[in-house]
Amino acid sequence: MKKRLKKLLIFLYFGALVLAIWGGEGGQKLLHYSSKPLLMPLLLGWYALIPNAFKKPRLFFSLGFTCGWLGDIFLMDTTGKYFLAGLASFLVGHLLYIAGFRYYIGGRSMGLLPKYTSLGVGLVFYVSVAAFLAPSFQSPPRNALLLPVLLYSLIICVMGWYAWYAWRLIGGLMVWAFLGAVLFLLSDFFIALHHYVLPKGLPLSDLFILSLYGTGQFLIAKGTLVADNSLTNP
């Protein structure tokens, strides 16, 4: 029974994702706005059926998905009135993901050279993204969003690094979490392109943004389905 319910929830999750994309691209606002808020509750429902789903460190990811749900709702407002609230929700979600990955990593280390080399690569990546986005936030009223956007960009890059670090140390299903983090990052990059960088917006924006976001969140959840006992005692 539980196995069938898990399959049903995943089917409904990706079904809602397809409907949200279809509604967004087809200009069917009611379909889009009624489907998108269902994504994270369905994912959380599936996650809750996994043994120990709400014990450390999965509790961090569960709360992170909840923040994603709040962010989805805030960012559905097209006036931009709740943009910072949505950004803050996702930022807190990424901090929770970081806490989850750190818990999995525990006392493990891959050595100073590869660790700090990867940190250097991550820093170069972040600076490149920040330098690319910053010119689009120079004029009022966008200039007020520059620091929040740069802070958010830093946090999601840190989250991506921790996902990579956890995968390199643990292996196994953690590769899915790392890929999910990459897709999430790409989704946010496309959001920036669509709303702030490209004058005419990104063609097929909902297709690119939502497919990357929805798949990324699912892969993060899938990647954290590892044996807690074997990881917390390295």
pTM of the model: 0.93
- Per-residue pLDDT, 231: 52
When pLDDT is averaged across residues 102-127 and rounded to a whole number, the result is: 89
Number of domains within the chain: 1
Q: Is residue 65, in this structure, part of any structural domain at all?
A: yes
Does the N-terminal peptide bond of residue 141 adopt cis geometry, omega within 30 degrees of 0?
A: yes
Helix (H) or strand (E) holding 168, with range, is helix 146-170
- Per-residue pLDDT, 58: 85
Residue span of the structural domain in which 212 resides: 59-231
Reply yes or no on whether the pLDDT at 16 is more than 60.
yes
Tokens of 157: 């890059």
201: region left, alpha or beta (phi > 0 left; psi from -120 to 50 alpha): left
pLDDT in tens, 135-189: 999 989 889 999 999 999 999 999 999 999 999 998 888 999 999 999 999 999 9
User: What percentage of the chain reaches a pLDDT higher than 70?
Assistant: 95
- Per-residue pLDDT, 207: 95
Q: Is residue 104, in this structure, part of any structural domain at all?
A: yes
- Per-residue pLDDT, 121: 93
Q: Is residue 147, in this structure, part of any structural domain at all?
A: yes
Q: Is residue 39, in this structure, part of any structural domain at all?
A: no
- Per-residue pLDDT, 96: 97
d(C-alpha 16, C-alpha 216), whole Å: 15
d(C-alpha 96, C-alpha 82), whole Å: 21
Quote the mean pLDDT of the chain. Answer: 90
d(C-alpha 38, C-alpha 66), whole Å: 11
